[in-house]
Amino acid sequence: MDLAAELKKLQQNLEKNFNTLPLATKPTDLVHGEGDPQAAVMLIGEGPGYYESVQRRPFVGRSGKLLRKTLNEINLSAEKVWISNIIKVRPPDNRDPTPKEIAAFRPYLNQEIELINPEIIITLGRFSMAKFLPEVKISQVHGRLHKVQWKQKSFYVLPMYHPAAALRSTQMAESFLADFQKVPKILIWLKEQQEIAKTKQKVEEALF
Ligand code: URA
């Protein structure tokens, strides 16, 4: 089965089991991830808001528009990344997700990450950051690349402010943009690291 079909199957499974999930009253309450299944960059937000739950697409409301505009500005359109959320159903009044809700959606998010297998995960806001970096404060680590060991695989996590925070103040908006402007350089650096690792392996194979 190809990757897109596997992701579709995962989404259908979640819909079939909607009654085992918190917040969901029907299968169509679920808002799945979207984008390029082969993406090197995966973005994880908090949970759907009103517009996301109506359109059944992540990040299409006000903060989504800012996120998608910022991605375009760094030449990484939303179609080239994979965008998802920690929880897949809108909490009432857009309140924060509870630990119980986050835990209930965790197995699905984990499978989604394993299928996408991104090189970098950009966490948007503190809830998705806490999945990989539970001990840190977002104000101290935003825009800094972290190497993380997760399920026997190592990859990079780049914690960012949530776009909703960037909509609340000019200072946050500047920070948000400055952090995103680092992404193209990070991707070039990652490619270089992969090339170096390949060359090193070839040399080792020739010598030993
Ligand atoms: N905020 C999020 O965290 N996710 C969305 O999909 C929309 C708004």
Q: Is the CB of 63 under 6 A from ligand 1?
A: yes
pLDDT in tens, 70-89: 999 999 988 899 999 999 99
Residue 65 C-alpha to ligand 1 middle, in angstroms? 10
Query: Per the structure, how many domains does the chain have?
Result: 1
Report the nearest atom of ligand 1 relative to the CA of 86.
Answer: 3
Q: Which of 50, 81, 85 to mutate to test the pocket of ligand 1 (most atoms within 8 A of CB)?
A: 85
In terms of DSSP H, where are the helices of 156-182?
A: 163-166, 170-180
Residue 16 C-alpha to ligand 1 middle, in angstroms? 23
Summarize the confidence of residues 177-184 as an average pLDDT.
Answer: 97
Summarize the confidence of residues 195-204 as an average pLDDT.
Answer: 95
Structural domain harbouring 13 = 3-207
Beta bridge partners of 154: 149
Share of the chain above pLDDT 70, in %: 100
Looking at the predicted structure, is the pLDDT value of residue 94 above 90?
no
Give the CATH number of the domain where residue 108 resides: 3.40.470.10
pLDDT in tens, 153-177: 889 999 999 999 999 999 999 999 9
